[in-house]
Chains A and B, each alone.
Chain A
Amino acid sequence: MSTATPRKVAQPAPAEVATTRPRRGLRASSTFNFWLFTGPFLIGLVIFVFVPIVWSMYLSFFEARFTVTPSEFVGFANYKQILTDTDFRNSLVTFTVFAAFIVPATWALSLGLALLVNRLRFMRAFFRSVFFLPTACSYVAASLIWKMSIFNGVRFGLANTVLGWFGVENIAWLANPDPPWYWLVIVTVRLWLQSGFYMILFLAALQNIPQELYEAAAIDGAKPGWQTFRYITLPQLRATSTAVILLLLIAAYQAFDEFYNLLSKTTWGQPPLVELYKMALGENQNYGAGSAGAVVLTLLICVVTLLQGKFMGFGRGEESK
């Protein structure tokens, strides 16, 4: 094969470039190719990700209402406004409560489903599909079903109908913050939508656990069931669990769709993104304060992500076979 090649055969494999210096022309060609491949993406990344972020930081120091052209430099006034804004601060509390419920609940439910499906001998693919199917559903569609058919505050909602069989009065699920039944609606809709997705991750991880571990445990006298789960399955799922929790937290921070659609007319239970949406695109169109809020939120998310990574050690390659 070396005879027919017009190029020199002695091309080093790309990984070895650092050690065996390639000829000048070759290096230039790989530089050209690097930009040919990554250029379009990087240009877009700069324009549509970095520029908005920087612009947002810039705007956050200016008065900018109804226009994206800043008019007056106001220093940290926007930050002061947003940090003293009770709605925005409440939204951070809302998010914290939401995350405290949804992250462990989804973790437990998706792991539980994965354990169930993994033990099935027949109809395994069927049940996997059933649990996975809600992934195809959008938050908007699911919110419609939850609000108008299941947790409708009146008689004909499914939840109230079922409770009625047991003599329970109708509950106004979403119309009243006290008692906060709306949390049940918000949490169940997301559980239904996202658990199947994370179940798939756990299923994959479960199937990667070497069977010998269970055999060895059995020889050592571990009882199947809780003991093997506690001392073998859970530790083996550590890497996946960490990744799942990280993804769940990020997803929770982005919560918008179901809150916006389920609680559109209420003043309570609004997460940060809904508040930002109202601030920047609502009646006041205050882009300055909205930008300040976005900056604050981004910083918060970065801190939480980093802390989470530090405590749970994500990126430690436990997955390596």
Chain B
Amino acid sequence: MSTTAPDFKETTAPVKARRGGGVIGNTGLYVATGIAGLLFLIPFYLIIRNALMTDREITGENWKWFPTDIQWGNITEPFDDVTVDFAHAMWNSVVVAVLHTTGILLVCSLAGYGLARIPYRHANKVFYAVLVTLMVPTAVTFVPSFVLVSSLGWVDSYRGLIVPGLFSGFTCFLFRQYFLGFPKELEEAARVDGLGYWGAYWRVVVPNSLNFFAAIATITFINGWNSFLWPLVIGQDPSAWTVQVALSSYMTNQTVNYHLIFMATAISILPLLLVFLFLQRWLVQGIAQTGIKG
């Protein structure tokens, strides 16, 4: 039974003795899971299928599951397209997602640590101010935020795309909850050895929290890469479009170029799939840790 030790989390209890479903029960279980799994994979398959077909084959009379002649040449087409500068949009997304993630980790983790660990008379009041912002969904504030950012002259700039998103009450809250559970003894040892809060934080707390940081980083990166509303609002000029805005613009284009659109979609998902493959364990643990208690 323990041969398939769940890699999901450190099991506290011994591996569960499952109800013996017999051969039929198990087969049914696997059939059901398999069908559900296929349904979940079909959209991904359709992207690849469409991306590697000709438009004529996609829109043809008979549905084909496989391209008769795989169009490898399609791969470069989004980059050659003159109507949308896809390469530039990809680059914008990389810059935005990376800086967004780095910034949010730095700013929110420090604040979370301060709120969790540094004694200060008014710390509770400050914490309530952070909690209040959780009540106001960021998506609703896009009108006022746009008003502010445009009066700062930040429309169509990386600053406008990145900076307003760094102050996430939710991420700060998650970090605070995490640091509350961080073993105090480690920090106290560091403090006794003469480190201040700052030193203890960077030399002891952060190096011992890399798992949590990695989980938050992955989630933040995915959100940053996939976010649409804010980049749509800020990217008034095509030169400031992120890849999501560029993809969306394909839908409103006059001419529909199916294989190009799906190739672009495939390329836009690829970085995140790689992130998924490499960081999945952290991601799953992080979501399991943070989602519930948040």
A positions within 8 Å CB-CB of B:
1-2, 4-7, 9, 11, 13-15, 17-18, 22, 27, 29-31, 33-38, 40-42, 44-45, 47-53, 55-56, 59, 68, 113, 116-117, 119-122, 124-125, 127-150, 155-156, 158, 161, 192, 196-197, 200-201, 203-205, 207-208, 210-211, 224, 239-240, 243, 247, 250, 253-254, 256-257, 260-261, 264, 273, 276-277, 280-281, 287, 290-291, 293-294, 297-298, 301-302, 305, 319
> Are B136's CB and A53's CB within 8 A?
yes
> Are B288's CB and A201's CB within 8 A?
yes
Tell which of B117, B150, B273 has the most Cβ of chain A within 10 Å. B117
Closest to A145 in B: B43
Which one of B2-10, B66-74, B79-87, B206-214 contacts A?
B2-10
Closest to A40 in B: B107
Which chain B residues lie closer than 8 Å to A138 at the CB level? 225-226, 228, 244, 247, 268-269
CA distance A11 to B119 in the complex (A): 12
Smallest CB–CB gap between A99 and chain B, Å? Answer: 13
Which chain A residues lie closer than 8 Å to B191 at the CB level? 11
- With A204-B288, A294-B140 already in contact, the answer to whether A144 and B250 are too (CB < 8 A) is yes
> Are B111's CB and A298's CB within 8 A?
no
The main secondary structure of chain B at its interface with chain A is helix
> Are B59's CB and A156's CB within 8 A?
yes
Smallest CB–CB gap between A70 and chain B, Å? Answer: 10
> Are B110's CB and A38's CB within 8 A?
yes
Number of interface residues of B (CB under 8 A): 117
> Are A33's CB and B225's CB within 8 A?
no
- With A45-B169, A140-B244 already in contact, the answer to whether A56 and B261 are too (CB < 8 A) is no
> Which one, A9, A132, A210, contacts B284 given CB within 8 A?
A132
**B91 at the binding interface (Cβ < 8 Å):** no
CA distance A319 to B196 in the complex (A): 34
**B13 at the binding interface (Cβ < 8 Å):** yes
Interface string of B24-35 (1 = CB under 8 A from A): 001001101100
Which chain B residues lie closer than 8 Å to A142 at the CB level? 43
- With A1-B193, A134-B40 already in contact, the answer to whether A256 and B269 are too (CB < 8 A) is no
Interface string of B242-264 (1 = CB under 8 A from A): 00100110111000101001100
Tell which of A5, A41, A132 has the most Cβ of chain B within 10 Å. A41
**B183 at the binding interface (Cβ < 8 Å):** no
> Are B123's CB and A150's CB within 8 A?
no
> Are B60's CB and A156's CB within 8 A?
yes
Which chain A residues lie closer than 8 Å to B22 at the CB level? none
Which chain B residues lie closer than 8 Å to A200 at the CB level? 284, 287-288, 291
Smallest CB–CB gap between B76 and chain A, Å? Answer: 19
CA distance A182 to B133 in the complex (A): 34
CB-CB nearest 4 A-B residue pairs: A37-B114, A56-B144, A41-B111, A52-B144
Known: A38-B111, A294-B140; 8 extra A-B contacts, CB below 8 A, are A22-B119, A37-B118, A41-B172, A139-B226, A210-B13, A276-B143, A277-B233, A280-B143
B positions within 8 Å CB-CB of A:
1, 4, 6-9, 11-14, 16-19, 21, 26, 29-30, 32-33, 36-37, 40-44, 46-47, 50, 58-61, 63, 107-108, 110-111, 113-115, 117-121, 123, 126, 129-130, 133, 135-148, 150-151, 163-164, 166-167, 169, 172, 184, 188, 191-194, 196-198, 201, 222, 225-226, 228-229, 232-233, 244, 247-248, 250-252, 256, 258, 261-262, 265, 268-269, 272-273, 275-276, 280, 284, 287-289, 291-294
CA distance A143 to B19 in the complex (A): 40
Which chain A residues lie closer than 8 Å to B30 at the CB level? 120
Tell which of B26, B37, B60, B169 has the most Cβ of chain A within 10 Å. B37
Closest to B32 in A: A116
CA distance A118 to B125 in the complex (A): 42
> Which one, B14, B110, B129, B144, contacts A37 given CB within 8 A?
B110
Closest to A292 in B: B143
- With A38-B110, A49-B167, A120-B30 already in contact, the answer to whether A130 and B118 are too (CB < 8 A) is no
CA distance A211 to B1 in the complex (A): 15
Closest to A54 in B: B144
CA distance A40 to B8 in the complex (A): 36
> Are A30's CB and B288's CB within 8 A?
no
Which chain A residues lie closer than 8 Å to B1 at the CB level? 121
